[in-house]
Each structure stands twice: as C-alpha cells, then as structure tokens.
Amino acid sequence: MDTVVLDVDGTLLDSNYHHVIAWSRAFEALGVRVASWRIHRAIGMGGDRLVSAVAGDDVERDHGSEIRDAWEKEYDSLIDEVHLLPGARALLDAIRHRGITPVLASSSIPKHADRAFRLLDADRRAGSATTSEDAEESKPDPELILEAIERVRGFEACVIGDSLWDIEAAQRAGVPAYGVLSGGNARQELVRAGAREVYADPCDLLEHLDEWLA
C-alpha cells in the first residue's frame, strides 16, 4: 500500500446533514417537495446526478440548474457550522507517518472543498486533493478516484468513504474500499456495496490502522 484515497464530506468533515438541509431548502424554493431521508440517501453522489435521483428526470430537466444554484447558496449559509470529525487531522498524520500518501478525493465544488482543505491543513497533510472540477463524471463514476491516485503516482491504493457511491466508485476503479459510519449510512449497506470493513469514524480508523493498512 502506497496511497490512501479519502473522501471528505461525511468521512473527514461532519457535513452530510448540512447538505441534506441545503438540498431540502433548495427543492422547496422551486416548489418541489422531497423527503429529507431520500436526499440523505443520495448524499455522496455528484450534484449533477442528485436532482434526478431524488426528484425524477422531469424535475432535473425543468429545474435542475436552478436547484443546484439554490443548494449552493443554502450551503454557503450553513458552511460556518460545518466542522471536521474528531480524529480527521490525526488520521492523515498517522497515514503519512507510515510512509503512505493520503490523497483527498472531494467531489465538492471548489469553494466548498477549499474550506475543508484549510481545516485539514491539506497542503501539509495530504499529497494532493481533488474537487468536482477535476473529473468530467461524478461519483459513483471512478474517474475522481483514478485521478486522485494518478496525481501522486500511486501504485497500490485503497479508498476510505462514507457513502455507497464512494464504495461503488472504488469497486469500479478496481481499488479496495473501507467504509465509515460517520456519513449516516448503515454498516450492512456499505458491506453489501463492497466495503472490506466498516469503521465508525476517523478515530476508529486511527485505532485500527494496522488492520486496514495491512
């Protein structure tokens, strides 16, 4: 193992439920009612896919761009309330201490991802980092993961993520994946999606570092 690719939202950053609120308000602003649990189930896939996934193709066709613009503004209003999950920085430090390169594979838009990168001190702790602008296709497409690995010239990698879409993207990239519960998805679902093992959060990953890095 020479590379660990880490998702950011829900994996290192406690942001998934803020995204649910932002998307819910964005749909409401356009007169579309979507249950919050449906939105939560889709968090982790790209925003270009989410509207259609939770509200249908007709809503995407008629209002997709407007809803995404509204979501961006709503999340902007919440972003100062979003914080790192406990152990996030320490996990990156421990991976580097083992001589392995951590890479951040965020599919967030750049201005949202940049705040997370600053909180993580990613310039110092990570070998590289991606945003939504670094791939033409969003998760569960594997492009973002493959791009993250390529940036650090990785050879043997694994992926850490909180969503089914992270695990699916890793599977499609041919890379082993490990799940975390901190994004709000069930252990059994992450395992069924292909996760080799599931841990609670960054602190739990840190405590069991020898297990999954091996």
Identify the domain containing residue 143 by its residue range.
3-14+83-213
Q: Do 174 and 95 share a structural domain? A: yes
**Domain CATH number, residue 193:** 3.40.50.1000
DSSP track, 39-108: HHHHBTB-HHHHHHHHH-HHHHHHHHHHHHHHHHHHHHHHGGG--BPTTHHHHHHHHHHTT-EEEEE--S
- Count: domains in the chain: 2
Q: Do 130 and 57 share a structural domain? A: no
Q: Do 176 and 76 share a structural domain? A: no
Q: Do 29 and 131 share a structural domain? A: no
Q: Do 116 and 99 share a structural domain? A: yes
Decide which of 81, 99, 130 is a domain's last residue: 81
Q: Do 149 and 87 share a structural domain? A: yes
Contact between residue 205 and residue 199 where contact means Cβ atoms under 8 Å apart: yes
Q: Measured between alpha carbons, how far is 71 from 66 in angstroms, rounded to an integer?
A: 9
Q: Do 59 and 45 share a structural domain? A: yes
| Residue 182 DSSP one-character state | G
Detail the DSSP E strand segments found in the chain: 3-6, 101-105, 128-130, 157-161, 177-180, 198-199
Please enumerate, as own/partner, the contacts of 90-95 that have beta carbons within 8 Å and a separation of 24 or more.
90/202, 90/203, 90/206, 91/6, 91/12, 91/202, 91/203, 91/205, 91/206, 92/6, 92/12, 92/120, 92/125, 92/126, 93/125, 94/206, 94/209, 95/4, 95/209, 95/213
* Cα first-last separation, the chain: 8
Q: Do 159 and 58 share a structural domain? A: no
Q: Do 21 and 115 share a structural domain? A: no
Query: 76: left (phi > 0), else alpha (psi -120 to 50), else beta?
Result: alpha
Angle between helices 88-97 and 110-120 (to 10 degrees): 70
pTM, two decimal places: 0.94
Decide which of 81, 108, 135 is a domain's last residue: 81
Residues pairing with 130 in the sheet: 105
Q: Do 73 and 110 share a structural domain? A: no
| Per-residue pLDDT in tens (0 to 9) along the chain, 214 residues | 999 999 999 999 999 999 999 999 999 999 999 999 999 999 988 888 999 999 999 999 999 999 999 999 999 999 999 999 999 999 999 999 999 999 999 989 999 999 999 999 999 999 999 999 998 888 889 999 999 999 999 999 999 999 999 999 999 999 999 999 999 999 999 999 999 999 999 999 999 999 999 8
Q: Do 41 and 96 share a structural domain? A: no
Q: Measured between alpha carbons, how far is 73 from 70 in angstroms, rounded to an integer?
A: 5
Q: Do 87 and 68 share a structural domain? A: no
Decide which of 37, 63, 81 is a domain's last residue: 81
**Domain CATH number, residue 43:** 1.10.150
